[in-house]
Amino acid sequence: MPVFKARRLLALLLMACLGAASVVQAGSLAAASSTQPGGHRPPFEAAIATTDAEMAKLRDDQGLPALQVAVLVEGKIVFSQAYGFADIEHREAATAETQFRIASISKAITGTVLARLAAREEIELDQPLYEYVPDLPEHWKDITARHLASHTSGIRHYRGLEVYSTRNFKSLSEALAIFRDDKLRFEPGLQREYSTYGFTLLGVAMEFMTDTSFMDLVRKEILEPLEMTHTEIDDGNNAGLATGYLLDNTHTAHIAPPTDTSYKVPGGGLVSTAEDLVKFAWAVIEPDPIEPEALALLREKTTTADGKTHNYGLGWNVGGEPGNLRLSHGGSQPGSRCFLLADIDGGVAVAILCNARGAKFGFAEIERIAKHFKDAK
């Protein structure tokens, strides 16, 4: 066997062994939460075993550095597992407390904060931004918070290599300089086109409307009431953050280039864990502590002036119909890929996080996991 192939095989075997060790370490919560007094068969035993096997195979088949998965059913975490390495070079196993960049799932958090503020009439969703945000360019005068949260503002998305930005912005207002002089792609409300930069402007608008910093709003409205203790801004000082990787076509992981997400905190600049995210997803299923009026706003689909209805509302994908309604969001950026599902009528929340861009999994996987646990209820 050629030397380089032998070395690669040895490295893969070592990763597999250490990855297995991390599964055992991270699995204590799932085991504890699924055990019943008196030795009775746990209700989700088969669903847990199936999900565990599927996730382990997903990681092995694609050579993923780490996966972190959590499932919550009717308000209780019944499965929480981590696989592989938070840092390959230092052989640091991923655990349930390892933080991952959650990329565009940050939009769902921002949209939920917005919905809470709107439900309490602290923000007017359809009020033009220029009425409360100073020094806006003329071409933004008709944009509203609803436009920004539903991707119907006309503000552009990334160009070129902007997603790899390393520039640090001291405030969201300062970050508006990236796109404030660019023409709108369409008249606000006319159609829908995805824009992370729109969420940067939304964060600025929320700050001016409430006289509160964006992250203080997130902490007050989401993180503190839901006890999401591992969710915070991606500011480069996150001690528990997994190293980010990029996967090439041979499933080889390369360390992702450093990036600074200060320009897009509301739309892609937070870190979290799978357990924290399923707590958040459960909060948009049951109206406590989030107001019923806010939940109703989050479950509304968007209709644009061109007559089309879109499966997206205020920061969430809105799928299905009453009786089979689901809120979800995915995310991908250098060093991460992640998905979150809140199956409202099924009473199940699922989160999958990975520290590698290029990983091939998505909504099909979280829907399948949710079905395993719904079928076991």
- Indicate whether 282 and 362 sit together in one domain: yes
Q: How far apart are the first and last CA of the chain?
A: 51
User: Is 226 within a domain?
Assistant: no
**What pLDDT does residue 128 have?**
97
Contact at 8 Å (CB) between 227 and 279? yes
- Indicate whether 236 and 353 sit together in one domain: yes
- Indicate whether 95 and 114 sit together in one domain: no
- Indicate whether 118 and 93 sit together in one domain: no
**What pLDDT does residue 117 have?**
98
Provide the token pair at 26: 């991270």
**Helices and strands (H and E) in the chain: how many:** 12, 15
User: Is 193 within a domain?
Assistant: yes
SS3 assignment, position 167: coil
Contact at 8 Å (CB) between 152 and 143? no
- Indicate whether 122 and 193 sit together in one domain: yes
Residues 358-377 as b or e (16 or more Cβ within 10 Å = b) = bbebeeebbbebbebbeebe
**What pLDDT does residue 10 have?**
36
Domain that holds residue 358: 3-24+44-58+65-102+232-376
Closest CA to 338 of 129, 102, 113: 102
Residue ending a domain, among 153, 179, 214, is: 214
Paired with 248 in beta bridges are none
User: Is 29 within a domain?
Assistant: no
User: Is 39 within a domain?
Assistant: no
- Indicate whether 367 and 244 sit together in one domain: yes
User: Is 275 within a domain?
Assistant: yes
- Indicate whether 297 and 368 sit together in one domain: yes
- Indicate whether 239 and 94 sit together in one domain: yes
Report the alpha-carbon distance of residue 279 to residue 66 in Å, rounded: 21
User: Is 222 within a domain?
Assistant: no
Contact at 8 Å (CB) between 105 and 113? no
- Indicate whether 118 and 98 sit together in one domain: no
Long-range contacts for 160-164 (Cβ within 8 Å, ≥24 apart)?
163/259, 163/333, 163/334, 164/257, 164/259, 164/334
User: Is 146 within a domain?
Assistant: yes
**Which CATH number is 126's domain given?**
1.20.58
> Looking at the chain, which runs of residues are DSSP E strands?
66-73, 76-87, 92-93, 100-101, 232-233, 245-247, 253-255, 270-272, 302-303, 309-310, 317-319, 326-333, 336-343, 348-354, 356-357
Q: Render each residue's pLDDT in the chain as its tens digit; 377 residues.
A: 443 333 333 334 344 444 433 333 333 333 333 333 344 457 899 999 999 999 999 999 999 999 999 999 999 999 999 999 999 999 999 999 999 999 999 999 999 999 999 999 999 999 999 999 999 999 999 999 999 999 999 999 999 999 999 999 999 999 999 999 999 999 999 999 999 999 999 999 999 999 999 999 999 999 999 999 999 999 989 999 999 999 999 999 999 999 999 999 999 999 999 999 999 999 999 988 999 999 999 999 999 999 999 999 999 999 998 889 999 999 999 999 999 999 999 999 999 999 999 999 999 999 999 999 999 98
Q: Assess whether the previous peptide bond of 43 is cis (omega < 30° from 0).
A: no
Q: How many domains does the chain have?
A: 2
Contact at 8 Å (CB) between 65 and 356? yes
Provide the token pair at 194: 């995805």
User: Is 33 within a domain?
Assistant: no
> Looking at 168-252, which runs of residues are DSSP E strands?
232-233, 245-247
Residue ending a domain, among 161, 184, 214, is: 214
DSSP at 179: T
Paired with 246 in beta bridges are 254, 357
Residue ending a domain, among 160, 181, 214, is: 214
**What pLDDT does residue 286 have?**
93
**Which CATH number is 75's domain given?**
3.40.710.10
- Indicate whether 237 and 348 sit together in one domain: yes
**What pLDDT does residue 60 have?**
96
- Indicate whether 53 and 180 sit together in one domain: no
- Model pTM score: 0.89
- Indicate whether 342 and 252 sit together in one domain: yes
